Structure 1
Amino acid sequence: MKRNVGTIDRLLRIILGLGLISLVFVGPQTYWGLIGIVPLLTALAGYCPAYSLFGIRTCRARP
């Protein structure tokens, strides 16, 4: 898997993922917050399957 998620995109995904996961513990306390695992894992891996499908890259190309 080639990396296709850039630094800023990764940071936003981590924030979004942690925010959604926190909904399991605070707020409405529903399991819908577990959806936050998806952006968190894609940020940690640096790879997004949806980006590959549409040919999107937010990281710099390697020389």
Structure 2
Amino acid sequence: MTPNVGTTDRLVRLIIGAALVGATLFGAIGPWGWIGLVPLATGALGRCPAYRLFGLSTCGSK
């Protein structure tokens, strides 16, 4: 599977995912914050299944 998440997109996903998980760990938000694991995983791997499903890519070149 080829990467379909660009550098800026990855950085945003990692920041949002870490913020959600961190807020959950510190009790600032409820357990729904564990959804932050999804952007963390897609940012770390550089692949997004939803992007693949819709034929999207934020990578600069192929």
**TM-score between the two structures when normalised by the length of structure 2:** 0.90
Which consecutive unaligned segments of at least 5 residues does structure 1 have? none
Higher helix share: 2
Match of 1:51 in 2: 51
Letter in 1 for 2:42: T
Residue identity over aligned pairs, in percent, reads: 49
Q: Size of the alignment, in residue pairs?
A: 61
Cα deviation, residue 59, structure 1: 0.5
Normalised by the length of structure 1, the TM-score is 0.89
Cα RMSD after superposing both structures: 1.0
Consecutive unaligned residues in structure 2, runs of 5 or more: none
Query: Which residue in 2 is equivalent to 1:35?
Result: 35
